[in-house]
Homo-oligomer: A and B are copies of this chain.
Amino acid sequence: MNAYEQLEAHYQKIDDLRHIGAITGWDESAMMPAGGGAARSRAMATLNVLVHDLTVAPQISDWLMACENLALSPLQMANVTVIQREHRQAACLTSDFVRAQTEAVMASEQQWRISRAENDWATIQPHLERVIGLSREEAAMRADAGGLGLYDAMLELYEPGVTSSQLDTLFEPLKTSLPPLTDAIIEHQAKTPCIPLGDHFEVGAQRELGLSVMKTLGFDFNHGRLDTSHHPFCGGVPEDVRLTTRYSETDFLQSLFGVIHETGHAMYEQGRPKDWLTQPVSQALSMGTHESQSLLMEMQAGRSTAFLTYVAPKMRAAFGRAGDDPAWSVDNLYRHITTVRRDFIRVDADEVTYPLHVILRYELEKALIDGSLTVADLPQAWHQKMTDYFGLSTAGNYQNGVMQDVHWPAGLIGYFPTYTLGALMAAQLFEAAKVSQPQTLQQIANGDFTSLLCWLRKHVHNRGSAVPVDQLMTDATGSPLTTDAFLSHLRARYLS
């Protein structure tokens, strides 16, 4: 085997262990009883250390150097580029650090599930201090190795090539224009209040409706499944994607659009380049790109009147409502799924206020990493920003305030901004898809997502990590990422 082939074989082994880790991680969130937690944390730490050790194996540097003298195909070269970055990102951490961090994060996540339910900040604070402390150490080591700032070194894990100064440029127009836009929309929507849909929706019927919509969108059930978990997510591996959702008996729309969202993520994974699945070049390009696929399905396509036209009769059938019930008309259902409000919970937020939830977290986690904010002061800082941006107090309300997300207990610093990058990308991509295929909305109204999925497969999914985000966006839409399509979309949907 030449050096490149040895590199591929080595990464196939790493991919095998990541497969095992992804399934066991899904299990930990969706299946594991609480008593299994301590042993599982130790086991996952051992696996993570093994993967880490394989990723930093010294022969990788030799193979990478030898590859420079080989005639490689463009995809092989792209694979080498991704491996180089992964190798550099891993090599700056010791095995002991990886073990300590994995164990701390798993204990913290497990405690978070309990503490959040009990609105108990005191029991999560020491875990969070430990995890954020380790993230600070991690950022320092990464910054040193990559020649980046502390926060940028963490951001690179989720959004390679993007820096916080670029984020600031993209976020500034949102921070300026979204508050007055929100005011205008709320005032506009107050003229036509929603008619309530009822207050009990059987979980079994919700699940069946979700499964049926997944099928319509194009999810391949031979390579994945839907389960329930505390915090909805999309895990597993491309050959076997594991989506989760959670059900509220009083609000079926929450779970349904959650399922559509995770299905968008899942179809990205299912669409990764088939012949390259064991290699890093087949991975999703970035977390922002991943989120663009979930938001394109949930926000752009899913919350369109076109999709509502298709799905409203199925909703009525699922819950036994009459076709002439005005509450269950397309118009009223559409008002329900496009209602804008200033509220506490990010994952339940509408697309207009969502970026402010993200910017709030982005500002706080930058301060956590540079040391200007302590974990002990976090609830007060959260409360202050919620008051400033949303006019909402979270004093004493940890559950729906600072403790609402798993990200910080899970040590994911630098992840939040990718949600908003994804929203911007989704708007720009969907606009381009509609220009390229003018029948898109009509097809969606017929429950036919085939053409849209083909377009996404070609322009996003099948590209893996072979090109940078800017090139992907330029190839697909004609320009790099801006806020234009997103802001036009909001004005068109909410103020026309």
Comparing A18-26, A340-348, A403-411, A464-472, the segment that makes contact with chain B is A18-26
What is the copy number of this chain in the assembly? 2
The yes or no answer to A47 lying at the interface (CB within 8 A) is yes
In the complex formed, the residue of B with least CB distance to A220 is B35
Question: Complex Cα distance A55/B240, Å?
Answer: 30
The yes or no answer to A113 lying at the interface (CB within 8 A) is no
Question: In the assembled complex, which residues on chain B have CB atoms less than 8 Å from the CB atom of A40?
Answer: 19, 23, 239-240
In the complex formed, the residue of B with least CB distance to A204 is B204
* Chain B proximity mask over A41-58: 1 for CB below 8 Å, otherwise 0: 011111100100000000
The yes or no answer to A17 lying at the interface (CB within 8 A) is yes
Please determine whether A239 and B34 come into contact, CB atoms closer than 8 angstroms.
no
Question: In the assembled complex, which residues on chain B have CB atoms less than 8 Å from the CB atom of A35?
Answer: 220, 222-223, 239-240
The yes or no answer to A237 lying at the interface (CB within 8 A) is yes
The yes or no answer to A71 lying at the interface (CB within 8 A) is no
In the complex formed, the residue of B with least CB distance to A44 is B20
Question: In the assembled complex, which residues on chain B have CB atoms less than 8 Å from the CB atom of A20?
Answer: 20-21, 24, 43-44, 46-47
Sorting the interface of chain A by its residue count into under 10, 10 to 19, 20 to 34 or 35 or more gives 35 or more
The yes or no answer to A224 lying at the interface (CB within 8 A) is yes
Which residues A221-246 have CB closer than 8 A to chain B? 221-225, 237, 239-240
The yes or no answer to A32 lying at the interface (CB within 8 A) is yes
Question: In the assembled complex, which residues on chain B have CB atoms less than 8 Å from the CB atom of A21?
Answer: 20
Question: Complex Cα distance A413/B34, Å?
Answer: 36
The yes or no answer to A39 lying at the interface (CB within 8 A) is yes
Question: In the assembled complex, which residues on chain B have CB atoms less than 8 Å from the CB atom of A225?
Answer: 31, 33
The yes or no answer to A180 lying at the interface (CB within 8 A) is no
> Are A39 and B222 CB-contacts (below 8 A) given A24-B20, A44-B20, A50-B50?
no
In the complex formed, the residue of B with least CB distance to A225 is B33
Please determine whether A39 and B277 come into contact, CB atoms closer than 8 angstroms.
yes
The yes or no answer to A350 lying at the interface (CB within 8 A) is no
B42, B43, B44, B223: which contacts A33 (Cβ < 8 A)? B223
Question: Complex Cα distance A178/B17, Å?
Answer: 49
In the assembled complex, the CB of A35 is this many whole angstroms from the nearest CB of chain B, namely: 4
- Of all A-B residue pairs in the complex, the 6 with the closest CB atoms, nearest first, are A36-B240, A35-B222, A16-B46, A19-B43, A39-B239, A35-B223
A: residues with CB less than 8 A from B are 12-13, 15-17, 19-21, 23-24, 27, 31-36, 38-40, 42-47, 50, 220-225, 237, 239-240, 277
What are 27 A-B interface contacts by the 8 Å CB criterion? A12-B42, A16-B43, A16-B45, A16-B47, A17-B43, A17-B46, A17-B50, A19-B39, A19-B43, A20-B20, A20-B21, A20-B46, A20-B47, A23-B24, A27-B27, A32-B240, A33-B221, A33-B225, A35-B239, A36-B224, A36-B239, A38-B239, A39-B239, A39-B240, A39-B277, A40-B239, A50-B50
